Amino acid sequence: MKIARIIRIFLELARHRLDRLIPANTSLPLWLSAIAVCLRIFPTPKDSPAVSLRLAIENLGPIFIKFGQILSTRRDLFSEELITELEKLQDQVPPFSTEVARHIIEDEINASIADIFAKFDDTPLASASVAQIHTATLLTGEEVVIKVIRPGIQVTIKRDIEVMLFFAHAVERFWSEGRRLHPVEVVSDYEHTILNELNLQLEAANTATLRENWLDSNELYVPEVYWDYCSSRVMVMERIYGVRATDIDVLQANNADLKKLAHLGVNIFFTQVFEHNFFHADMHPGNVFVDVSNPQDPTYIALDCAIIGSLTEEDKNYLAQNLLAFFHQDYAKVAELHIQSGWVPANTNLKDFEAVIRSVCAPVFQKPIKEISFGKVLVSLFDAARQFDMEVQPQLVLLQKTLLNIEGMGRQIYPDLDLWETAAPYMENWMRSRYDARSLFKNLSDNVPRWIQQMPQLPDLALGALNELNSLGDRTSEQIRLLGDIKQELGQQARKARYTRIGGVALIAAILTSLLPLSGYATTPEALVGTSILGSLGVYWMYIQS
């Protein structure tokens, strides 16, 4: 199965001659140069390289389409033509049959479409990598959208994951840097994430939670879920109307405040990560819309909540401290935090690591986003960190992906956005709030019910602790006595070994001395007597120590 898929991938590369995307005079590794030469054997298609790339990605399926969606946000890295084609992957993937969609909906809801919907549009509103969307109206009058999972998609995804794991294992085994990058762990984490995306019941729960988190805010709107019509393969939710976040011409035509909108996006991201610890991890332009009904106070609308991320308290705390240290240009603190968190080995030279971080980060500090490419910064950090054995942190992969998406949209909405101007005050306020009186009181209040529940057990726990301390004292005394015995025994063995060595040396000396006459050397009676005494003492010392 893996070999067949690898061959299929190569044939797609060849059929669309994707070697045309490689810039001229680019220095390539030998194995990659060999592949490029093989591709040139095939005829050149009529489509442009950008169109060919989009078609190849579509043909290779959802895993590759997801990757293309991420690339579509990076206008700083690719040409305008390539970005335009990749953006079509966000919701212009070829749809599957409407009859199949109707059959799936009726099977999952266990009722005919006419019994539930007053109106159902057979033409899909959008078609994405793992599902497509149809619009409808409930019998009660609410306008809704119906999300339907593509038939057979799970088999396709599992097959591609097998191929990715095959290459990940190969990277770990045959590349010296491979183990440090944890490619197998990263792919396994991605497998878990994308398989969750196929469960629309889980997406509905994520959507409901995200909606609850932002329900009382005027910053982010999340559509309502209609639970009576949701299953693992079908989800029905409120239909929203808005402008795609990257339709800049439309936003400008509606006089939307783009600067305010850009800063609002940064604030929403940090709030989701640090306050809610529940962040939308698939914020490509196809999933983010803007409500411009009040142009001077625009708000975001979030769709497609299948991929949600969260961090442990430890990772969240270290990340916050790292960001603050970076904003304050305290690169020594950044290096120290990396060591404390275990992201680099404990024996890392702090000063050397600080110098490398400074060389990479200092040039980008306090520049407008249009002058910063986080993609290039990440590559530079990756190259610099190799000498310190910095390991990839799989639990942060979703966060890194979200940051790249946020950067891509921010660059399009308001290129002069000063990321630090928004992020630094937010992080400082968040850190202060963790240690103020209200936060400490809340932590105490949250723990009081648990403490009350444990109070009846306190006498038994205290008595058990005292008994344990008493037994610990007895065990300590016994261990001290045993250590004394061991020390005494080791001393006796050392003396025995010393005497044995002395006896052996004396015996060998006596034997050698007694053999001197046989070698033609003259000796005296006194020497023979001394030899006898020396040999006797040697034998005696060795005997009494045996």
Catalytic residues: 282
Contact 100/71 with Cβ under 8 angstroms?
no
Could you tell me whether strands 143-149 and 220-221 are parallel, antiparallel, or unpaired per DSSP bridges?
A: unpaired
Q: What are phi and psi of 481, to 5 degrees?
A: -65, -45
**3-state SS class at 57:** helix
Report the C-alpha gap between 484 and 487 in whole angstroms: 5
Complete DSSP assignment for 443-484: HHHHHHHHHHHHGGGHHHHHHHHHHHHHHHHHHHHHHHHHHH
Q: Which of 183, 203, 190, 132 is nearest to 160 (CA)?
A: 190
Secondary element (H or E) of residue 173: helix 153-174
Tokens of 426: 């937010």
> Could you please report the per-residue DSSP string of 93-161?
SPPPPHHHHHHHHHHHHTS-HHHHEEEE-SS-SEE-SSEEEEEEEETTS-EEEEEEEPTTHHHHHHHHH
CA 293 distance to own-chain centroid: 37
Q: What angle do CA 15, 19, 22 make, to 5 degrees?
A: 155
| Diameter of the chain measured on Cα atoms | 129
| SS3 assignment, position 16 | coil
